[in-house]
C-alpha cells in the first residue's frame, strides 16, 4: 500500500511539473509574438506601369517598321505613355515607380521613331504629289500643243482643199507641160512645182495598184507622160474614163520624178469630152 501511494504521489508531482513548463513556454511565445495589427502590409504591383511598359514595348517594336510604324506603333506608344504617367501617380501605394518610368521612356522613344517615319512618309507623299502635278501639267501642255498643231494642220488642209477647188490655176496642155520640163527643168520647177494646174490631154490609161492607189496617165506625145494621182474614193469616177478621151484634170504639180514622169497630186476631173 505504501509503495502504491508513493507511486501515485510521484506521478502527480510529474504532472504538475509538465503543466508549469507548458504554461511558461506559452507565456514566452506570447511575449515575443507580434500582434497581427502591427505587421507591415505588403505593397501590390504597379499595374498601370506594368501594362504601360508592355504596351510601350509593343509600340516600340511596331514603330521600327516603315509602313506601319506611325500608323500602329504611335497609338500604342500613346497608350503606353498615358499608363506610365498614371503609374507614376500611384507609385507610392505600389511596388514603386520602376515600371512607370520604363513605360514612359519606352513610349516616348516609340513616339519619336513613329514621328520620324511620319515625317519621311509625308515628305515622300508631298514629293510624289508635286511630281504628279508637274507631269500632269506637262501632259496638258503637250495635249494643248498637239491640239493646236492638229487645228493648224486641219486649217491648212482646208485652205489647200479650197485652193485646189476654187483657187487660181495655171492652164496648160499635157504636151506643153512636159516640153517645159524637158527644155528647162529648173525654170519649169519654179513655174509649176507646188502650184495648182489644170492639165488637158488625152487619157492614155487608168491604173490601180494593190494598195488601192489610183492614177490617170495623160499622153504628152512622144515619150512624154503626165501622171495624175487621185484619192481612193474617186474610183467610180475613173471607171467611166476611156482611152484617148480628152479630159481636163486639176491638181497640184509635184514636179518630175526619177522616171522622167511629171506628177500631179490631189487630182480631180473638172472637164471631159
**pLDDT tens per residue across all 273 residues of the chain:** 445 545 554 555 555 565 555 555 554 444 445 555 444 444 567 777 788 888 888 888 888 787 777 777 778 888 888 888 887 877 666 566 778 888 888 888 888 888 888 888 888 888 999 999 999 999 999 999 999 999 988 888 788 778 778 889 999 999 999 999 999 999 999 999 999 999 999 999 999 988 889 999 999 887 789 999 999 888 888 988 998 999 999 999 999 988 889 999 999 999 888
> What is the structure's pLDDT at 96?
66
* 104 vs 111: CA distance, rounded Å: 10
Q: State the virtual CA torsion across 202, 203, 204, 210 in degrees, nearest 10.
A: 160
> What is the structure's pLDDT at 80?
83
- Measured in degrees and rounded to the nearest 5, phi and psi for residue 125 equal -65, -45
Distances in Å between the Cα of 220 and the Cα atoms of 15, 188, 202, 217, 261 are 167, 16, 8, 9, 10
> What is the structure's pLDDT at 10?
53
> What is the structure's pLDDT at 39?
47
> What is the structure's pLDDT at 64?
79
On whether the CB atoms of residues 201 and 218 are closer than 8 A, the answer is yes
pTM above 0.75, yes or no: no
Grid coordinates belonging to 200: 488637158
Name, in order, each residue with C-beta under 8 angstroms of 43's C-beta and a sequence gap of 6 or more. 93, 94, 95, 96
> What is the structure's pLDDT at 29?
47
> What is the structure's pLDDT at 180?
93
> What is the structure's pLDDT at 1?
47
Amino acid at each position: 500500500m505504501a509503495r502504491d501511494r508513493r507511486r501515485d504521489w510521484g506521478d502527480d508531482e510529474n504532472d504538475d511539473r509538465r503543466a508549469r513548463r507548458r504554461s511558461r513556454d506559452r507565456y514566452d511565445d506570447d511575449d515575443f509574438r507580434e500582434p497581427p495589427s502591427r505587421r507591415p502590409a505588403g505593397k501590390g504591383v504597379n499595374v498601370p506601369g506594368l501594362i504601360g511598359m508592355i504596351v510601350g514595348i509593343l509600340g516600340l517594336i511596331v514603330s521600327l517598321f516603315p509602313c506601319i510604324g506611325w500608323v500602329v506603333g504611335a497609338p500604342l506608344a500613346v497608350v503606353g505613355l498615358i499608363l506610365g504617367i498614371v503609374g507614376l501617380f500611384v507609385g507610392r501605394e505600389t511596388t514603386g515607380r520602376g515600371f512607370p518610368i520604363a513605360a514612359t521612356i519606352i513610349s516616348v522613344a516609340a513616339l519619336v521613331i513613329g514621328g520620324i517615319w511620319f515625317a519621311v512618309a509625308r515628305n515622300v507623299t508631298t514629293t510624289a504629289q508635286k511630281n504628279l502635278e508637274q507631269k500632269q501639267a506637262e501632259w496638258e501642255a503637250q495635249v494643248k500643243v498637239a491640239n493646236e498643231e492638229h487645228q493648224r494642220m486641219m486649217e491648212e488642209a482646208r485652205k489647200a482643199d479650197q485652193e485646189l477647188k476654187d483657187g487660181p490655176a495655171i492652164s496648160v496642155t499635157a504636151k506643153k507641160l512636159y516640153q517645159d520640163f524637158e527644155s528647162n527643168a529648173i525654170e519649169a520647177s519654179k513655174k509649176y512645182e507646188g502650184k495648182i494646174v489644170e492639165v488637158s490631154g488625152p487619157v492614155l490609161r487608168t491604173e490601180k495598184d494593190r494598195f488601192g492607189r489610183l492614177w490617170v496617165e495623160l499622153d504628152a506625145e512622144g515619150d512624154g507622160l503626165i501622171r495624175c494621182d487621185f484619192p481612193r474614193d474617186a474610183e467610180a469616177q475613173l471607171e467611166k474614163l476611156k482611152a484617148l478621151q480628152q479630159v481636163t484634170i486639176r491638181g497640184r504639180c509635184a514636179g518630175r520624178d526619177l522616171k522622167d514622169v511629171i506628177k500631179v497630186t490631189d487630182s480631180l476631173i473638172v472637164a471631159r469630152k
